[in-house]
Amino acid sequence: MKKPLFALSLLATFAAGTAALADEELIVVRSNGALERHTTGYTYTPASWWYHTPAAWSASVGAARAGGSGWGDVTALKADNKGDLYAVQPDGQLRHYAQPLTRMGNEAQLQPGDLTAIGTGWSPTRLGEGLDGTLFLESGGNLLWYRYADGWQPGTGSQAGSGWSGFTSLFGHNQALFGIAANGALWKYTFQVDQSHNFTGFDSSAQVGVGWDVFAHVATGFDGVIYGLTASGDLYWYKIDLATNTWNEFSGRVIATGWSDVTLLAVGRNQSCTHSAYQAAYDEQVWWGVIHHPAVPEHWDCTNAPGQSFTVYQ
């Protein structure tokens, strides 16, 4: 399979090292209707001219944990940056559940009927998500925006744009909305919000990739991470700098295989995780007139997920 292409910048080689939040979980629905949860994370260490070391990267997908059953009829599954879950039923009904991963615990089961019905007439294929309950729906070429936060917010259902019928898939995170065009081009749109976090308009757009029509399912994680799943069951990892549109040099790596029976893919958030740093603030060390920031070890403890430890490089 030809991998999707993206634009690399040499600046990415010298970017600060990062690590994914330990509260990020992949949510998948299998062809038998089972809902599964997989913890996921990555570490990235930039190249160092001082130590003559190359850039390093690693990623992992945890073993499946049962999350529920009866999800085989759900036609679309989305999760926003707060961890709220949105599911579209076969009849177009939109259902919502606030922060299910935080509430569920390790072994609790979530069924579609546990979600609250909040709307009807929702498209199963061209539905995108954004900041704090923002949803985008393509209808007849028009893009409509909605925001659900303890109820539908003022302006919900208003037109956000036109000419969007050429996109086969929409997905997003925070204030970035991505769309895959019929020719496989990946486009990124950034938008603005008001003080209440309601959508006010798009302010930029850019094509950031080609060949993305190879993916059967795509979902966005945190901090610019994108997961793409092919029909053959290969799960790819990408990371884009949302400010500069440059891709992490390790983008396009396969991090899981054998997922060909997955019918829905989303990224959720378990906010039961608490963070503690062994070193509250790093000390600057000056060697030969050059300032160096040593690594700061950090630890996440999650009530409803296994604790994870990793190092963040400043």
Q: Please report the DSSP string for 99-119 in residue order.
A: SHHHHHTTT----GGGSEEEE
Distance CA 278, CA 262 (A): 39
Domain ranges of the chain: 5-312
Measured torsion, CA atoms of residues 134, 61, 255, 26, in degrees rounded to the nearest 10: -20
Compute the average pLDDT of residues 13-29: 58
Q: Which residue has the higher pLDDT, 311 or 102?
A: 102
Range list of H helices, 189-288:
none
Compute the average pLDDT of residues 193-198: 90
Give the confidence band of 313 by pLDDT, cuts at 50, 70, 90: very low
Distance set, CA 148 to CA 24, 124, 222, 252, 284 (Å): 21, 18, 20, 33, 44
Assess whether pLDDT exceeds 60 at residue 230.
yes
Q: Say whether pTM exceeds 0.85.
A: no
Please list, residue by residue across 43-53, b when 16 or more beta carbons sit within 10 angstroms of its beta carbon and e when fewer do: bbbbeeeeeee
Compute the average pLDDT of residues 158-177: 92
Compute the average pLDDT of residues 109-123: 86
Compute the average pLDDT of residues 55-76: 86
Distance CA 135, CA 145 (A): 6
Half-sphere exposure of 283 (CA within 13 A, CB side): 5
In the CATH scheme, what architecture does the domain 5-312 have?
Answer: 5 Propeller (2.115)
Six-digit token string for 308: 């994870």
Q: 102-106, 119-123, 143-147, 222-226: lowest mean pLDDT where?
A: 102-106
The pLDDT of residue 20: 41
The maximal CA–CA distance of the chain, rounded, in angstroms, is 67
Distance set, CA 73 to CA 2, 77, 80, 128, 300 (Å): 31, 11, 21, 19, 35
The pLDDT of residue 102: 58
85-100 pLDDT per residue, tens? 899 999 999 999 887 6
Query: Pairing relation of β-strands 85-88 and 225-230?
Result: unpaired
Compute the average pLDDT of residues 121-149: 86
Please list, residue by residue across 66-85, b when 16 or more beta carbons sit within 10 angstroms of its beta carbon and e when fewer do: ebbbbbeebbbbbbbbebbb
What average pLDDT does the chain have?
Answer: 78
Asked whether the beta carbons of 61 and 258 are under 8 A apart, the reply is no
Q: Which residue has the higher pLDDT, 146 or 278?
A: 146
Half-sphere exposure of 211 (CA within 13 A, CB side): 9
279-293 pLDDT per residue, tens? 333 333 434 444 333
Nearest to 272 by CA among 309, 302, 298, 234: 302
